[in-house]
Structure 1
């Protein structure tokens, strides 16, 4: 949880994200270096713009303790216009 809070604060503080939701208590089951692993993890839902994605990815890679953190992007097909504008405003440097 400490890593999740650090990343969330770092991304919002750098105006790379307007908001980060932290969903704790996830159990991840995955294969790593030929072995099946299980770990408790937190999911971060990072609200940003397409223009900021590369910077968000780079910052997470730099600050996350995992060798290969899961970082994927979901395109938003629709949303409340005022909310999407708020995200754009918050992530404009």
Structure 2
């Protein structure tokens, strides 16, 4: 069996510091037609080490649905517009999707 995804859809996970920031990032991605749909999940709690210290932060989890052809431009946009120095950007291949993507 091949490790290649069955379709060209991807889901990109990204966290934002608050609702306003997540909404602004989502609107910009959608207006630029870089994403098909974005789900905002407020109330996420992230725990991580940063600069040698255990941190904990309330964030908004963004589920960004797009495709491989828009992936690089979408990631570039997020890196340029995101308020974090190192935003979480995880790209997950999709093995099947409905026509919305």
TM normalised by structure 2 equals 0.79
Q: 1:15 aligns with which of 33, 49, 72?
A: 33
User: Residue in 2 aligned with 1:91?
Assistant: none
In 2: Cα distance, 1:25 partner to 1:75 partner = 25
- Considering only aligned residues, what root-mean-square deviation do their CA atoms show, in Å? 0.8
Whose strand proportion is higher, 1 or 2?
2
Q: Which runs of 4+ in 1 moved over 2 A?
A: none
Whose helix proportion is higher, 1 or 2?
1
Q: Give the number of equivalent residue pairs.
A: 83
Gap regions ≥5 residues in structure 2: 1-18
Q: Which has the higher contact order (CA 8 A, sep 6+)?
A: 2
In 1: Cα distance, 2:75 partner to 2:52 partner = 26
